[in-house]
Structure formats: structure tokens, C-alpha cells
Structure 1
Amino acid sequence: MEPVRRAVVIEDDDDIRHLLETVLSQAGFAVTACANGYDGIEAVRNVGPMVVTLDVNMPGIDGFETAKRIRAFSDAYIVMLTALGEEIDTLQGLESGADDYVTKPFRPRELRARIEAMLRRPRAGAAPTPPPVAPQGRPAEPPAYAPPAAGAHAAPPAAGPPPTAPAERLEHLGLLIDLGTRLVMADGQEIPLTRSEFDLLAALMQSGRRVRTKADLAILLRNESYVTSNFVSDADKRGIEVHMGNLRKKIGENSVTPRWIETVRGVGYRMTGPDAPV
């Protein structure tokens, strides 16, 4: 039996709150709706939702402060909904801990698609799949050895080390990323990143010197493809710029003389070459 998918809607406008309840209910969520930030924080604490939609302009405390307080104890996906569309508002929203930022008026179908795309992305610090366990809690034993059939010749042991799985650890000039544990280290220091920041860094390190455009990275964060995606807005691209600015700040990157991530003006981003400053 699948666990119940829960969502919390924090919105002071009655009509929009009811619309959001309908959209999320149709998407299979059990929805708890609140009209202000204080009630919304308590609802998130009590319900433990997977997704939170959050208005910015509300009575009491605004959405930015509400997002910060939620992020202090919850790893729920946060989508901010607001009529504000300036870059500074996008910056403040993402720095408050939001995973996505949608301006009003919004299309319900697009909002639902963005939420479903976020849910397909792994949570930060997700635990790896545990090894199989035998009944009564005993570790599962390896398969028993089966001798070769009559007349068959046993193959000689393979020379050299056993084949390895695709690399889950990537390193570049002292910057290390572990795709399995979602761990990032810079010069031996662990760097805490948001889901979006980690996914962007992983995409760039996997691409090496190949340039990733802002539109490409925006689609990556939606977990979509160019075939299925219809539109990447200027707000989406600004969101990538904000995420990249926050990422660079956290790893101690100088955008003027970058050690790890360089900007290709008018195009996007890529990892630096081997002659980057150390």
C-alpha cells in the first residue's frame, strides 16, 4: 500500500487557496490549507507534507520568512506563488529555501507539472537502498556455489580487478561530489547544498567542458526533456542564475577568476579547464 501523499497550501486569497486545493487533490494529494504563515508552519510540522505551496504577500509573516522557518525543520518541496516578478524577489524566495518560484497568474496544469517534476528528483541525503535481509533479521547469505554441469569446463578466473560500476564520485581541482550520497566536499570541507544546487553542480561536473545553457539547466531541474518541454521563461533562467550565485557563494567561488565553474557569456556555464587558478 502506497503512503499518502500530503501537501500544505499556505495562501491568504480564498479563491486561489481553493484552486490550489483542487489542483493538488486532483494530483492525488491529501491537502491541508491555511490562510497565513503561522498556521501554515504548524500544519507543516503536524502533517509532514511532501509539498508546500506558499504565497509571498500574507498577513502576519510573509512567505519569505515562512519558508525560512519551514526549512529549519522540514525537507518538503516548497513552491512559492506570488504576483511579484522582479529578479530580487526570485533571489529572496530561493534564498529563503524555496525549490521553485511561480508568478501569478499561473496555469494550474503547469503548476501540477512542476510539482510532479520536483517529486521525481531525489531528496537531499536520501538513504541508499539497504542490502537484502534474510528472515528473522539475519543478513542474507550469498548464493550457493553450483558446480559446472557434467562435461562442461569451468571458466578460468578472470585476470585483473573485477569490473567496476559507473563512477559515482566526480572530482575537479579539489571539488568532489558523490552522486550516491549527495555529498559535496571542497578542499576537504563538506558543503551543504540544496537539492537544486546539488543537481546543477552534478550536471556541470558530468558535462565537464561542455557548456550547459540556462534553458538546459532549467529543464533539468524540472526533470523534463527538450522533447516534452514547451517553454523556458525568463524567470526560469533568472532562477538558474540565482541558484548558480548561491552555489558559488557556498563553495567559495570567485566568479571573476573562477576555480571551478565559469560563465560562458550569453550561453550558460561549464567547468573550468585544468589551468584554472588553484
Structure 2
Amino acid sequence: MINQRTAVVVEDDSDVGELISGLLDQAGFAVTVAQTGAEALTVIREQLPDLVTLDMSLPDIDGVEVCRQVRLVTDCYVIVISGRTSEIDRLVGLEVGADDYLVKPFSMRELQARVAALFRRPRATDQAPEPRRPTAPAPVANGQRPSGSAQIGCDHLNLNTGAREVRVSGREVDLTRTEFDLLAHLVSHPGVVVPREDLLRAVWATDFVPESTHVVDVHLANLRRKLRTDPARANDHEWIRTIRGVGFRFDPCCP
């Protein structure tokens, strides 16, 4: 099949792995199942799949480390499927680059819905080629997007949406796909309060709103930390403001 999507199911429980594999196969994926972290990393580096489902409790390498290593080689979608139910486990999974976190036991219909939602989101590799940059690209003031330009931001914060690059005062900031998409959405609406539910719909490209929108807060907290001009200074300028009980607002005022 031409352009068939590929998936790697990382699961040490053969029964669960077979269920997930079967669902993804029916969804049109070419699926490979790995039962250890070492095997998973080898397969992922070779195949560079479109999707990885990842159990956190593996017999050799902890799933957190597997996810961290995956993010070094591919921007694929990663869904953690784990029996670890505590909030800290969810936060750690998202911190190291997972796009979603599903707790066992789970329904196949929910997994199917979450996979479909992820693939409605734009991937860096699916976007059009980056437009030619001007000889000396200048940051954009006041959070406005100029016509025909891929540069958005303000004097000290600059996003290149074509290259998916972010710089703060000239320093390149390494963001996950979700963090970049959240920032781009907020920056494109400077001074406007964006509700959490709207961010879920825009960035996760789904009308399915989970029990809690806390996943947005987690990603935004990570994003804020990375955007500090001096990462060691907790009181540095905050580009993204929390509007209690509503959502978030990008503040284009530069330090």
C-alpha cells in the first residue's frame, strides 16, 4: 500500500499488544509489536513510524526513558497506555514528549478516537515546504502576522511557523510538537484570552473534551519554563498569562 501509515506497539503483555495491534491494523496501519524497551527503540529508529503506543512498565527500560529516546529521533505521535494512574505519572509522561496518556483498563473505542484525533493535527513532516526566508528576517512587532511571512511573535520572541523554530532573545528553544502548536495558536491571538477548551479543539483538533483539561495546563507549564529568557530565573517575563477560571492569554509586551 502506497503511503501506508506505520505504527509500533510497545507492550510487554502479549494479549494487550495483540488487541492494540488488531485495532491499528483495522485502521489501516502497518503494525510492529515490541515487548521490550530495547526492541522498541531499535524498531523505531529503523522504521521512524507515524505512531507509537507505549506502555510505561517494560521489563528492561522504563517507558519514560523510551519516550525520551524516541523524541531524539522522531516527531511521531506517541500515546502512552499505562496502568500507572497517579497524576505525577501522567505529568512525567507528557513532560518527556508524549502527546496523550491513556490509563489501563481502557476501551478500544476510546483509543480509536484518540488516535483519530491526533492524526487530525498537522505534523511537521506533513506541512508544505518552508517558504523562502528574506535575507535578514526581522521579528514581528505587537504579535501580528505580516502578509506572506512565516514569522510571528514580537521583538524578543520569534516563531518561524514554516521551520517550526522558536527563539527567545536569539536563543533557540527546543519545544515538543504540542508545545509549539499551543504557542503558535496563542501568539496568533495576542491579548486575547483563549479558553482551555478552545486550545484543546485547536491544537488537538478534536471536539472530544476529556474529563479534565489539565493536560493543557501541563503543557503550558512546560512551555512557560522553556520560554524564560534566563531559564534559571523563575521571575522572568511571562509571555503566557493564566486567566483564572477561563484560559490563557499571550502577552506580547517584551521585557
Partner residue of 1:185? Answer: 167
Question: Does 1:208 find its partner at 2:190?
Answer: yes
Structure whose alpha-carbon radius of gyration is higher: 1
Q: What secondary structure does 2:53 align onto?
A: strand
Deviation at 1:245, TM superposition (A): 1.3
- After superposition, the C-alpha distances for 1:49-80 in whole angstroms (9 at most, x for unaligned) are 11100001121112111111222222221110
Question: Does 1:50 find its partner at 2:39?
Answer: no
2:216 aligned to which of 230, 240, 253: 240
Question: Once structures 1 and 2 are overlaid, which stretch shifts more, 110-119 or 194-203?
Answer: 110-119
Deviation at 1:205, TM superposition (A): 0.8
Cα 1:104–1:256 shift into 2, 3 Å: farther
Deviation at 1:273, TM superposition (A): 5.9
- Size of the aligned set, in residue pairs, is 238
AA of the residue aligned to 2:239: W
Distance 2:126 2:154 in 1: 24
Distance 2:17 2:74 in 1: 22
What is the TM-score when the length of structure 1 is the normalising length?
0.77
Question: In the alignment, is the contact (CA less than 8 A) between 1:262 and 1:269 conserved in 2?
Answer: yes
1:170 aligned to which of 147, 152, 167: 152
- After superposition, the C-alpha distances for 1:103-147 in whole angstroms (9 at most, x for unaligned) are 12222222223223323333347674389xxxxxxxxxxxxxxxx
Cα 1:173–1:259 shift into 2, 3 Å: farther
Question: In the alignment, is the contact (CA less than 8 A) between 2:11 and 2:36 conserved in 1?
Answer: yes
Deviation at 1:173, TM superposition (A): 4.6
Structure 1: stretches of 5+ with no match in the other structure: 132-163
What is the TM-score when the length of structure 2 is the normalising length?
0.83
Q: What secondary structure does 1:72 align onto?
A: helix
Distance 2:155 2:83 in 1: 42
Question: Does 1:266 find its partner at 2:248?
Answer: no
Question: Does 1:109 find its partner at 2:88?
Answer: no
Instruction: Provide the alpha-carbon RMSD of the alignment.
Output: 2.4
Deviation at 1:98, TM superposition (A): 1.3
- List structure 1 runs of 4+ shifted beyond 6 angstroms: none
Deviation at 1:230, TM superposition (A): 4.1
Cα 1:74–1:129 shift into 2, 3 Å: closer
AA of the residue aligned to 2:100: D
Deviation at 1:21, TM superposition (A): 0.5
AA of the residue aligned to 1:252: R
Within a 5 Å distance, the mapping from 1:27-42 to structure 2 comes to 27-42=27-42
Within a 5 Å distance, the mapping from 1:63-142 to structure 2 comes to 63-124=63-124, 128-129=128-129
Question: In the alignment, is the contact (CA less than 8 A) between 2:197 and 2:209 conserved in 1?
Answer: no
Deviation at 1:32, TM superposition (A): 0.5
Question: In the alignment, is the contact (CA less than 8 A) between 2:8 and 2:34 conserved in 1?
Answer: yes
AA of the residue aligned to 1:212: V
Partner residue of 1:14? Answer: 14
Q: What secondary structure does 2:73 align onto?
A: coil
Deviation at 1:25, TM superposition (A): 0.4
Partner residue of 1:220? Answer: 202
Distance 2:41 2:118 in 1: 21
